[in-house]
Amino acid sequence: MDANCRVPAHNRALLAEWFEHPDYDDYWRAEDCSRHFGRMNVPCFTIGSWYDFMNQGSIASFQGRQNRGGPASVGQQKLLIGPWLHGRRNKGNKVGELVYPANAAVDVHRSMVNWFDHHLKGKALSKAAGATVRYYVMGALGEAGAPGNIWRDADDFPPKTRTTSYYLAHGGGLRLEESDMTDGTGAMTSLSSDPRNPCSIPGRGFPGARDARGFEKQEDVLTFTTETLKQPVEWTGAVEVQLYVSSSAPDTDVLVRISDVYPDGRSILLVGYPWRMRYREGFDKQVLMNPDRVHPVRFRVGWMSQIFNAGHRIRVTVASTGAPLYEPNPQTGKPATIEFPADARKAVNTIHHGSRFSSRILAPLRVAGSR
């Protein structure tokens, strides 16, 4: 960030200060706005983007202000989420390698003026602008009659869903919870994690809305894919993962990504998120791994509203490195340092997915009729 800082030394000083507080302590509590929703007492128009990992904060901010804010905040919020990336001037219908229908584009400036005119000048909102929540339900592109690619209005977010488990299966399958788990208690898949020779995810911005096969084909990247869908499936809400992990190192990372696999083989990345295993029990403390144990970790991969069309497949990708997007973990278990340490070590990481340790994706299947 030095190049974007008027005084580059200030950026380096701030980074050094952050490294003095590796855990969630009083320093970070003072910066945590989620602890102060009750003091937020104004209407707020929040814009989120499905292909922006910071959409988690957009939705959390809306939920906190709308339900736990001050009297002029509760019930006075608006949330708009579309198939876009981070930013204010990129809310068109083209994102990554995808071109959505023209209805995906939003005039952000006009929407903002409409919001301010209402709350500062008392003017009426249009029907669409008046909806508390407006979110775009993404669907398959280039397929006639494919469901989705529509706006949905709601009074709150997320809509009512049914949490459904998709189990990571031996051999790279992804199976529904109704499936019979016959892999046995010892089913597992291992990968190597080498911080000095990491797998590659180019760039430093979220690489969604693009074909992810280049990453998925790399050595030490695991994929788990459903059979071809016989009918469309909608996931709208927060996607979580429950993994059972063991490692030869005291600390490592797990990266989890969700893709929509088209009939032609393209694996379009929708959401992805990393987790450092030393923080599997919370950011306020570090708990290193024991090489003789299997450790559970559960975290949110991201939010989405996606209809996977019939003929498509759903894919979960698991890895431990993806540089330069994610800085590799030295895997020593020692305190993090600004400069990458000389004693970084390799590790063998194992994902367990048998009947005893059933690693899975927890998907938000929308209940029919809910908005």
3-class DSSP string for 1-27: CHHHCCCHHHHHHHHHHHHCCCCCCHH
Closest to 203 measured CA to CA, from 82, 304, 301, 86:
86
Residue that the structure tokens 């797990």 belong to: 254
H runs (alpha helix) in the chain: 8-19, 26-29, 55-68, 108-121, 127-130, 213-216
Largest CA distance in the chain: 66
- Position 357: which residue type? F
Do the domain assignments include residue 208? yes
Which pLDDT score is estimated for 370? 67
Look at the chain and report how many structural domains it folds into. Answer: 2
Cα-Cα-Cα-Cα dihedral sign, residues 183, 181, 235, 256: negative
- Same-domain pairing of 101 and 193: no
First to last CA, the chain: 40
Residues 88 and 115 placed together within one structural domain of the fold: yes
Q: Alpha-carbon distance 147 to 29, whole Å?
A: 43
pLDDT at site 180: 47
pTM across the whole model: 0.95
* 98 found inside a domain: yes
Same domain, 201 and 281: yes
Q: 148 and 207 share a domain? A: no
- Structural contact between residues 219 and 343, judged by C-beta atoms closer than 8 angstroms: no
Provide the token pair at 271. Answer: 């959401």
CA distance linking residue 96 with residue 94, whole number of Å: 7
Domain end call among 106, 126, 154: 154
Give the long-range contacts of residues 146-153, CB within 8 A, separation 24 or more: 146/307, 146/309, 147/232, 147/234, 147/307, 147/309, 148/232, 148/234, 148/306, 148/307, 148/309, 149/100, 149/101, 149/103, 149/104, 150/103, 151/103, 152/305, 152/371, 153/128, 153/371
Residue 139's pLDDT is 98
**How far apart (Å, rounded) are the C-alpha atoms in residues 364 and 371?**
13
- Choose the final residue of a domain: 154, 181, 205: 154
- Closest Cα to residue 361, out of 223, 252, 197, 228? 223
Dist. CA 227–CA 169, nearest whole Å: 12
Let me know if residue 45 belongs to a domain: yes
Q: Please check whether residue 244 is in contact with residue 295, taking contact to mean a CB–CB distance below 8 angstroms.
A: yes
Q: Are residues 307 and 270 in contact, defined by beta-carbon separation less than 8 angstroms?
A: no
Same structural domain, 147 and 283: no
Residue 178 is predicted with a pLDDT of: 45
Q: What is the CATH number of the domain that holds 51?
A: 3.40.50.1820
The amino acid that residue 28 corresponds to is W
Q: From 132, 154, 176, give the residue that closes a domain.
A: 154
Check whether residue 257 and residue 350 sit in a common domain.
yes
Domain with 310 in it: what CATH number?
A: 2.60.120.260
CB atoms within 10 A of CB 134: 20
Whether residue 112 is found in the same domain as residue 181: no
Q: Which two tokens stand for residue 138?
A: 């993404």
CB contact at 8 A, 211 and 267: yes
In a domain, 7, yes or no: no
Domain that holds residue 336: 161-366
Asked whether residue 284 is assigned to any structural domain, the reply reads yes
Report yes or no on 6 lying in a domain.
Answer: no
Please provide the DSSP assignment of 43-106 as one string: -EEEEEETT-TTHHHHHHHHHHHHHHS-TTTTT-EEEEEES--SSSS--SSEETTEE--GGG--
Q: Is 57 exposed, middle or buried (0-12, 13-18, 19+ CB in 10 A)?
A: middle
Rg (CA), the chain: 22
Instruction: Name the stretches of the chain with pLDDT < 70.
Output: 128, 177-186, 369-371
Tokens of 43: 């209407």
Instruction: Note whether 82 and 186 are same-domain residues.
Output: no
Q: Are residues 177 and 108 in the same domain?
A: no
Question: Does residue 13 belong to any structural domain of this protein?
Answer: no
Q: For residues 222 and 308, state if they share a domain.
A: yes
> Are 57 and 74 contained in the same domain?
yes
Is residue 26 assigned to a domain?
Answer: no
Does 97 share its domain with 196?
no
Residue 211 is classified by DSSP as B
